[in-house]
Amino acid sequence: MEQEKKGKVCVTGGSGYLGSWMIMKLLQLGYSVNTTIRSHPDLKRDVSYLTNLPNAPERLHIFNADLHKPESFNIAIEGCIGVFHVAHPIDFEDKETEETITQRSIDGIIGILQACLESQTVKRVVYTSSAATVLGDSSNIVDESSWTDVDLIRTLKPFASSYTISKTLTEKAALKFAEKNGIDLVTVIPTWINGPFITPQIPGSVRSSLEMILGHQSNIIKYPPIVPFVHVDDVTNAHIFLLENPNAKGRYICSAVEITREKLAQFLLTRYPEFQKQITEYTWTSRELKRSSLSSKKLLETGFKYKYGLEEMFDGAIDCCKQRDML
Ligand SMILES: NC(=O)c1ccc[n+]([C@@H]2O[C@H](COP(=O)([O-])OP(=O)(O)OC[C@H]3O[C@@H](n4cnc5c(N)ncnc54)[C@H](OP(=O)(O)O)[C@@H]3O)[C@@H](O)[C@H]2O)c1
């Protein structure tokens, strides 16, 4: 049965893993959704995985917008009560410089926040940040007061350093702009998002999570010694919970499970014995900095509950790969 109608919200980056799952869930919950996708001049995009979603014909509107042109988001934000800013230029192959990516990402979010201010209808903005913004020194547990040391990342240049720097500086710039201009901005800090997907291609973070089964690939994040995971549906629910909860304020780490990569291998071997050969032949090639444990205490104390464990994440991811003949 269709849920009672809620207000209209905007989701940026609707073509992506998290964005598309969020659209599906918001439509289920009774929201009307304006989403933004990038238009590619040479490519007619097939967005039937969005337009075929239940309730999409009545309540989903798709707009073209690009962080290159921050004002292109204005029309999608008009009349919305909330904005989920999910889009981010993700470039693990360093096709562009870190400075270019960071500048685009900051200009984009400031333009989006400005549009929210001018709309006079947006009550709260929820921004998808990343665990890359709270990298600690591996000796302690990090919480929302932690910030990645951008200068250290520039010096050490670990894999995905431009992503780490751009996410950190974008979240900082957004929080500062929001505070100065009286915008209600909440940020969500997810770890590795894993689980089922509705996108036609396998999402990057699911590809990373399944690397022991799918084999090595150069342009994805590698398992750190301790891998933190969260199910895509839990991250989505956390975003919606934080939009709706009147007491939400500031940053929220969203991470459900941490497991050493050795125990992860054991878990995969036991649960999916059909992939025994791939898992036992896999060799670690970590290019990741050691990470601290992350605490979700603040999110849990606000009343949020995680629903999923590793089993549901990997069952969902593997089933979706099989349905698309990727496994
Ligand atoms: N997946 C994870 O493990 C994880 C963990 C922590 C945080 N996050 C954050 O979650 C968000 C979504 O990530 P995801 O995993 O869903 O990645 P994704 O599938 O690659 O989605 C990224 C989205 O951003 C859009 N985008 C990229 N550059 C853009 C630009 N210049 N203008 C407008 N849109 C642009 C992409 O559009 P195209 O389809 O046109 O490329 C896509 O819709 C990101 O902010 C990411 O940093 C993800």
For the domain that residue 244 is a member of, what is the CATH number?
3.40.50.720
* pLDDT at 146 (0 to 100): 93
Ligand 1 near 17 CB (within 6 A): yes
Structural domain contains residue 221: no
Looking from the CA of residue 203, the nearest atom of ligand 1 is 19
Q: Is 326 inside any structural domain?
A: no
User: Which ligand 1 atom minimizes the distance to the CA of 12?
Assistant: 34
Q: Are strands 8-12 and 32-37 parallel, antiparallel or unpaired?
A: parallel
In a domain, 267, yes or no: no
**Positions in the chain short of pLDDT 50:** 1
Sheet arrangement for strand 226-231: 192-194, 226-231, 257-260
Q: 154-158: long-range contacts at Cβ-Cβ below 8 A with a sequence spacing of 24 or more?
A: 154/98, 156/289, 158/287, 158/288, 158/289
Residue 169 lies in a domain: yes
The dihedral of CA 14, 18, 20, 24: what is its sign?
negative
- Asked whether residue 270 is assigned to any structural domain, the reply reads no
What was the pLDDT predicted at 1?
46
Residue 40 in any domain: the answer is yes
Structurally, how many domains does the chain consist of?
1
Domain that holds residue 301: 8-196+229-256+291-307
CA distance 306 to 231: 9
- Which residue's CA is the closest to the ligand 1 atom numbered 15? 17
Q: Is residue 159 part of a domain?
A: yes
Element (H, E) at 162: helix 161-181
From 38, 49, 73, give the residue whose CB has the most ligand 1 atoms within 8 Å, as the site to mutate.
Answer: 38
Q: Which pLDDT does position 225 carry in this prediction?
A: 86
Does the beta carbon of 127 lie inside 6 Å of ligand 1? no
232 within ligand 1 shell (Cβ under 6 A): no
